[in-house]
Structure 1
């Protein structure tokens, strides 16, 4: 393994003899996770947005187009030298052309790398020992700026695939190679849903889970896993009947889930872990009290006391210098929106519109989620008020994308509608979502959320 920072004016593109002297090992249940671990161990900063600068030799131009498309799909901006830029345009890609060093003294490839706009460099141009070559200067500059420099198409492609996966430094499991398991671990799970908001539930009273973040990334995948909006752990609690831990599709841990907590409540009643009609569940946003309603002796509807809605900007948080953000004009992704911000234990940005179906949520959602206005990211709701007691909404959840329902989002939407004078306080408001209806009541003291919860199936996985 080489410390190129200490080797002045040396090209960091290695030949096969030198590549074989330094290796990293990534151990995981999936190739994507193993690759992610390997790249992190190799010193890569796995940034998932920004700019990619590309300059490749002629033999690689027939392959670079497909690789570059992956970075564009991830949201990266492409920069390239003239010849490479033309190749990328032939693939139908937008690219910003950059002058070579000898073509422009003031604005060129080196000044671009120094500008902070570039997060990855793909450079397969000819290697050499001559420090004055453009390709060598570029690769040396990446060393100085600590920017990952990919010197082969295969590596650039592998990095794109790894970035596309939902794995992060927080959702990969550390493996002690000196104490590896000798047999597979079996875990029991229950698939449950509330209003189409479906999660994989694990009873942690009798089984231990070490890496719920990675478990969510792997098994919540709808094509290669069990499928769901994430994973929820039902754990023992010292202050309540149980504790809920909720993990999004990307492995990030959420503070609260209104639909998820109803399913946790149903699970506790169905498995005789609590008695009576009420249950208290600990969450990262406090202890929530649920009231259960039975049909033919089985709990199927629950009301959650969600607690007070938070409207103070600093507590949500939202980076707007006003005490509260109510119908505030902002620009996100070059488009002006009027937003109302509410926290129900997690941050929400509500936009009222005339037709929720016309919103390109796959495009707009990530722009809201990752906007600089929201230091902790945000859940974005797009809402049409039908009448004083009925609201229609779509939601983009941070860490998960568009979901069929969001309990905290439905609460935030009802609160926002009341604060904007569109609905009334202390009266039931039906919120219509893709997965069904939720009933919200916003009072001076709290917000009540009522909806059904259902067990879909149970099973066992092996790790």
Structure 2
């Protein structure tokens, strides 16, 4: 078994942390095993996922995401902001920059605004929202039929459930019953155009924040009337912090995610080829 010495950077999108590794697009390695080893918080560096960054040119990038359990994820709203920040720092860009990022969920347009040496503000067109069938084993959650539920695609699968108080829901227990999806629970407020959300992510468990989950939840909240129907922007409060989601922007059926990404540290490691 051969290995390769590499340098990774660690970034956080509201406490949802990722390791970013720049690699040639054709680089072959045991990425699931590398993700499990590098993301392990006891024996590795520790993170919610491993992001592989490849540069096509100054404005075009590719992103591939492996969750901490080694599974492949199509898309991450917090992850893509972290990837954009890594590229911004790595390639010495200055001022406001636009990237087109090729992901397994399709191309995503990212606008980057630097706030300081370690933090950016990014706006991401997360693409078209779609509907999904009820996931397998959903009935094991015992959800009240009167409770609002939506199964939504933001390039990856989400199930959103409306509740009275997100703090009292046994989210870990419920999320483990449907590990193939990202499970969000939401309640309205505290502001008129806001919701509060907690998430159990596919392949990572309970996390501090989830960008695609915030998008799915904001979309559902508008459909259910948890926020005013005319709200073009929904504030989503999560344990790790807040993002803003613009609904039907930049076009009908799309959502745009707006939030920060923060550089945390740089690490040396070896990957398994």
Report Cα offsets for 1:49-86 as digits up to 9, x if no partner: xxxxxxxxxxxxxxxxxxxxxxxxxxxxxxxxxxxxxx
Query: What is the aligned partner in structure 1 of residue 125 from structure 2?
Result: 305
- SS of alignment partner, residue 461 of structure 1: strand
The answer to whether 1:390 aligns with 2:189 is no
Q: Equivalents in 2 of 1:261, 1:390: separation in Å?
A: 23
- SS of alignment partner, residue 79 of structure 2: helix
1:249 to 39, 60, 68: 68
Query: What is the aligned partner in structure 1 of residue 158 from structure 2?
Result: 348
Q: How far did 1:273 drift?
A: 6.1
Q: How far did 1:425 drift?
A: 4.5
Q: How does 1:351-366 map to 2 (within 5 A)?
A: 351-366=161-176
Report Cα offsets for 1:216-269 as digits up to 9, x if no partner: 11121111211110111002449x711000011211100000001011111112
Query: What is the aligned partner in structure 2 of residue 34 from structure 1?
Result: none
- SS of alignment partner, residue 368 of structure 1: coil
Query: What is the aligned partner in structure 1 of residue 242 from structure 2?
Result: 437
Q: How far did 1:272 drift?
A: 2.5
Q: Is the 8 A contact 1:381 1:394 kept in 2?
A: yes
1:318 to 126, 134, 156: 134
Q: Is the 8 A contact 1:425 1:442 kept in 2?
A: no
Task: Tell me: higher relative CO, structure 1 or 2? Use CA pairs within 8 A at least 6 residues apart.
Answer: 2
Paired residue total: 262
Query: What is the aligned partner in structure 2 of residue 417 from structure 1?
Result: 221
Q: How far did 1:291 drift?
A: 0.9
The answer to whether 1:191 aligns with 2:10 is yes
Q: How does 1:226-375 map to 2 (within 5 A)?
A: 226-237=45-56, 241-272=60-91, 277-296=97-116, 300-311=120-131, 316-318=132-134, 331-336=139-144, 338=147, 339-369=149-179
Q: How far did 1:341 drift?
A: 1.4
293-302 vs 342-351, greater mean Cα deviation: 293-302
- SS of alignment partner, residue 332 of structure 1: helix
List alignment gaps of at least 5 residues for structure 1. Answer: 1-179, 321-329, 370-376
The 1:360/1:295 distance shift into structure 2, 3 A limit, reads same
Q: Equivalents in 2 of 1:216, 1:379: separation in Å?
A: 19
The answer to whether 1:225 aligns with 2:44 is yes
The 1:462/1:399 distance shift into structure 2, 3 A limit, reads same
Q: Equivalents in 1 of 2:246, 2:6: separation in Å?
A: 38
Q: Equivalents in 2 of 1:188, 1:226: separation in Å?
A: 12
Q: TM (normalized to structure 1)?
A: 0.53
Q: Is the 8 A contact 2:125 2:256 kept in 1?
A: yes
Q: Equivalents in 1 of 2:69, 2:177: separation in Å?
A: 17
Q: Equivalents in 2 of 1:268, 1:222: separation in Å?
A: 24
Q: How far did 1:281 drift?
A: 0.5
Q: Is the 8 A contact 1:197 1:259 kept in 2?
A: yes
Q: Is the 8 A contact 2:129 2:153 kept in 1?
A: yes
The 1:454/1:296 distance shift into structure 2, 3 A limit, reads closer
Q: Is the 8 A contact 2:39 2:49 kept in 1?
A: yes
Q: Is the 8 A contact 1:187 1:207 kept in 2?
A: no
Q: TM (normalized to structure 2)?
A: 0.88
Name whichever structure is richer in helix by fraction: 1
Q: How does 1:37-52 map to 2 (within 5 A)?
A: none
The 1:449/1:457 distance shift into structure 2, 3 A limit, reads same
Report Cα offsets for 1:143-196 as digits up to 9, x if no partner: xxxxxxxxxxxxxxxxxxxxxxxxxxxxxxxxxxxxx43xx5311110111111
The 1:319/1:437 distance shift into structure 2, 3 A limit, reads closer
Largest Rg, 1 or 2: 1
- SS of alignment partner, residue 219 of structure 1: helix
List alignment gaps of at least 5 residues for structure 2. Answer: none
- SS of alignment partner, residue 176 of structure 2: helix
Moved over 6 A (4+): none
Q: How far did 1:317 drift?
A: 4.3
417-426 vs 333-342, greater mean Cα deviation: 333-342
Q: How far did 1:361 drift?
A: 1.6
